[in-house]
Chains A and B, each alone.
Chain A
Amino acid sequence: AQSVTQLGSHVSVSEGALVLLRCNYSSSVPPYLFWYVQYPNQGLQLLLKYTTGATLVKGINGFEAEFKKSETSFHLTKPSAHMSDAAEYFCAVSDWRNTGKLIFGQGTTLQVKP
C-alpha cells in the first residue's frame, strides 16, 4: 500500500532562514508526488508536483522539491522564508492506479518568526 510520512507536525523558522519540510513516501510503482499548502480559511493549493522527467521541481512562491528515488523522499525547500509562508503544508502521492486519488501525509504547520 502507498503511504506518505511527513517528519515534524510543526516546524518553526526565522524570517529569511531556509525552509525544509520533509516528506518520505512508500510506493511499489513510480510515484506521482505533490505538495499542497493550506492558508487559514482557504482550500488546499498546489505548490508543485513531480510526475516524470527532471527530479528537481520548481513551484510557486519560490518553493522547490527534489524527487530522490533512492531515498524515497520528496522534501520541500525554500531558500528564504517570508512571513506569508506561514501555513500548513501537505505532501501527497497519487494512487498507483493513476485515478487521481491522493494519499496525504499528516501535514506540517510552518511557523515563521520575525
Chain B
Amino acid sequence: EAGVTQFPSHSVIEKGQTVTLRCDPISGHDNLYWYRRVMGKEIKFLLHFVKESKQDESGMPNNRFLAERTGGTYSTLKVQPAELEDSGVYFCASSQDRPGGGTDTQYFGPGTRLTVL
C-alpha cells in the first residue's frame, strides 16, 4: 500500500510568486492534515480536512494560504503571493476516520521543502 506522497519535494521561488503543494493521502483515509515546520521551530498544525470539508483551519497563517481537497482525495495548498517567512517544510498527514479519532495514527508524507528568496 502506498504511503502519503507529497509533490514537489523541493520548491525554490521568489518572493511574490505563487506555489502550489500537493498531497496524496493513503487511500481510504478521510482525515487529511497539513503541518509546517519553519527552520528552528516546532512543527505546527495548519489545517484539517475530513473528506472534502475543512474541519479546522485555525492554524492557517493568513489569507495568502488556500487549501483545497477536491472530491475528498488529494489536497493542494497554495501560497499566493509567497513571502520570505513562508519558507519551511510543509508536511501532510492522513488518518482513518473513526470515532475518537484523536488517537488514530497519522501517517506523514516526506514533506515539501519550500524556500522563498
Contacts and interface: CB of A to CB of B under 8 A. Distances in A.
Answer whether A and B are interacting partners. yes
Interface string A79-114: 000000000001000110111111111110000000
Interface stretch (B61-69, B70-78, B102-110): B102-110
A46 B105 contact: yes
B106 A100 contact: yes
A94 B103 contact: yes
Contacts of A97: 102
B102 A100 contact: yes
A58 B104 CA distance: 16
A52 B12 CA distance: 43
B43 A99 contact: no
Interface of B: 3-4, 31, 33, 35, 41-45, 48, 55-56, 59, 91, 93, 95, 100-111
5 contacts: A43-B108, A49-B105, A95-B45, A100-B106, A101-B33
Given A98-B100, A100-B101, A103-B45, 6 more contacts: A4-B42, A44-B93, A98-B102, A99-B56, A105-B42, A107-B43
